């Protein structure tokens, strides 16, 4: 594209420039390489500022504006279906941690089969995607679960994007550890307490997990403000958020008679924000990750499951 210089000294040839006229008659100039998003140049053509802006675009120093992911996805493909699912009320009403995990799984599938037409998806295709993760059975089963939920939404009467759920009858792989983690005995717990006295983080993690019985994603949200008339009362995080948890501290007293541990006292020693949590999270953000770290504290303090 040739551009007349403003000082009338002549013309200058620029590569990869295209003109576009909007509905108001305004001429817009874009830098566009083949196969790449176009970048609008906003400086006045023929000026030194325009020349500098062009060379910045030519050198890759200007990033194209983020596009609409739905517009960039081919209609009828798995990528397009997943994008519509992310925007649906069904997906948005899930717990934040569930949305993050499920989206991560579906995005991984889209990297593998994003251009595959979902109308042609059959059970054997779902099984193939599952079997690619056969070395990690839990991850493989999570793929099946995510696809099952995706197509359950897509084939529902409210949407009818799909006519069937190809993942519905696909079985799950057997876990490599069907019996789960070995449960500790009373002797194991006693040895752990002897090794990690009150005042250590490992003991704090152990006491909170043992004496409250809440999930690791919930335990980091516990705080002294939840102690109500001898009970711990809080709303459970995630899918069961409507259920309130009540822990009778009389049970803790019975444990304290058998041991010297006082979980409330131990937690109080460690809390950084007395009005919020027992020293685990100041604002509750990233609680799932903190819960994972809390559980790892116990695991690392007990090599191979032994105190």
pLDDT in tens, 26-47: 888 988 887 677 888 989 888 9
224-228 own/partner pairs: CB under 8 Å, 24+ apart: 224/267, 224/268, 224/271, 224/274, 224/275, 224/278, 225/275, 225/276, 227/264
Instruction: Tell me, yes or no, whether 228 and 268 share the same domain.
Output: yes
Is residue 82 predicted with pLDDT exceeding 70?
A: yes
Tell me, what's the pLDDT at 154?
A: 96
More confident residue, 62 or 265: 62
Q: What is the pLDDT of residue 189?
A: 86
Residue 299: what pLDDT? 57
Lowest mean per-residue pLDDT among 83-97, 138-152, 287-301: 287-301
Mean pLDDT, rounded, for 123-148: 95
pLDDT (0 to 100) of residue 88: 93
Give the torsion through C-alpha atoms of 17, 18, 22, 24, to 10 deg.
70
Average pLDDT over residues 1-19: 84
Domain annotation covers residue 177:
no
- pLDDT number for residue 198: 87
Buried b (16+ CB within 10 A) or exposed e, 74-94: eeebbbbbbbbbbeeeebeeb
Whether the pLDDT of residue 269 is over 50: the answer is no
- Is there a single domain that holds both residue 54 and residue 76? no
pLDDT at residue 67, as a whole number:
56
> Residue 170 in contact with residue 130, Cβ under 8 Å?
yes
Q: Is the pLDDT of residue 208 over 90?
A: no
pLDDT at residue 261 above 80? no
pLDDT tens track for 13-30? 888 898 888 777 888 898
The residue from 113, 132, 154 where one domain ends is 154
pLDDT digits over 223-242, tens only?
A: 766 666 566 666 665 555 54
Number of domains making up the chain: 3
Domain-embedded: residue 194: yes
* Token pair of 121 as six digits: 């998806």
Give the pairing type, strands 11-13 and 2-4.
Answer: antiparallel
Residue 164 domain flag: no
Count of alpha carbons within 13 angstroms of residue 242, beta-carbon side:
0
| Residue 255 in this model has a pLDDT that exceeds 60 | no
Weakest mean pLDDT among 91-105, 194-208, 274-288? 274-288
Query: Which pLDDT band, with edges at 50, 70 and 90, does 134 fall under?
Result: very high
Last residue of a domain, one of 14, 32, 58: 58
- Long-range contacts of the stretch 228-232 (C-beta < 8 A, 24+): none
Residues 104, 142 within the same domain = yes
Tell whether 172 is covered by a domain. Answer: no
pLDDT recorded at residue 131 = 95
Domain end residue (candidates: 101, 136, 154): 154
pLDDT for position 16 = 87
Asked whether residue 283 falls in the same domain as residue 190, the answer is yes
171 in any annotated domain: no
Place of tokens 């009373």: 186
Supply the pLDDT for residue 214.
77
- Per-residue confidence (pLDDT) for residue 239, from 0 to 100: 53
Residue 7: which domain range? 2-58
Per DSSP bridges, beta strands 39-41 and 244-248 are unpaired
Residue 65 falls within a domain, yes or no? no
214 lies in the same domain as 278: yes
Choice between 281 and 35, residue whose per-residue pLDDT is larger: 35
pLDDT of residue 171: 94
Which of 72-86, 120-134, 260-274 has the least mean pLDDT? 260-274
Closest CA to 184 of 46, 304, 63, 297: 304
């Amino acid at each position: 594209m040739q551009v007349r210089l403003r000082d009338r000294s002549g013309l200058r040839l620029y590569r990869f420039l295209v003109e576009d006229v909007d509905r108001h008659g305004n001429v817009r100039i874009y830098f566009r390489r083949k196969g790449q998003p176009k970048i609008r140049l906003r400086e006045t053509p023929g000026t030194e500022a325009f020349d500098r802006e062009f060379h910045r675009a030519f050198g890759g120093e200007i990033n194209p504006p983020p596009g609409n992911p739905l517009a960039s996805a081919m209609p009828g493909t798995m990528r397009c279906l997943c994008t519509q699912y992310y925007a649906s009320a069904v997906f948005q009403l899930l717990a934040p941690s569930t949305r993050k995990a499920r989206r991560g799984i579906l995005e991984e599938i889209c990297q593998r089969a994003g251009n595959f037409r979902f109308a042609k998806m059959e059970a054997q295709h779902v099984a193939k995607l599952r079997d690619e993760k056969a070395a990690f059975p839990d991850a493989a089963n999570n793929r099946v679960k995510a696809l099952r939920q995706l197509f359950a939404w897509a084939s529902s009467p409210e949407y009818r994007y799909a006519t069937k759920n190809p993942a519905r009858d696909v079985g799950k792989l057997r876990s490599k550890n069907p019996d789960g983690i070995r449960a500790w005995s009373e002797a194991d717990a006693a040895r752990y307490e002897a090794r990690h006295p009150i005042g250590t983080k490992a003991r704090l993690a152990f006491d909170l997990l043992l004496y409250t019985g809440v999930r690791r994603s919930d335990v980091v949200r516990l705080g002294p403000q939840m102690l109500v008339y001898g009970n711990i009362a809080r709303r459970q995080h995630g899918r069961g958020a409507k259920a309130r948890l009540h822990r009778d501290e009389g049970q803790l007293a019975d444990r304290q008679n058998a041991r010297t541990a006082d979980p409330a006292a131990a937690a109080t020693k460690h809390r950084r924000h007395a009005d919020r949590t027992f020293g685990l999270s100041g604002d509750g953000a990233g609680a799932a990750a903190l819960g994972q770290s809390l559980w790892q504290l116990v695991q690392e303090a007990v090599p191979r499951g032994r105190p």
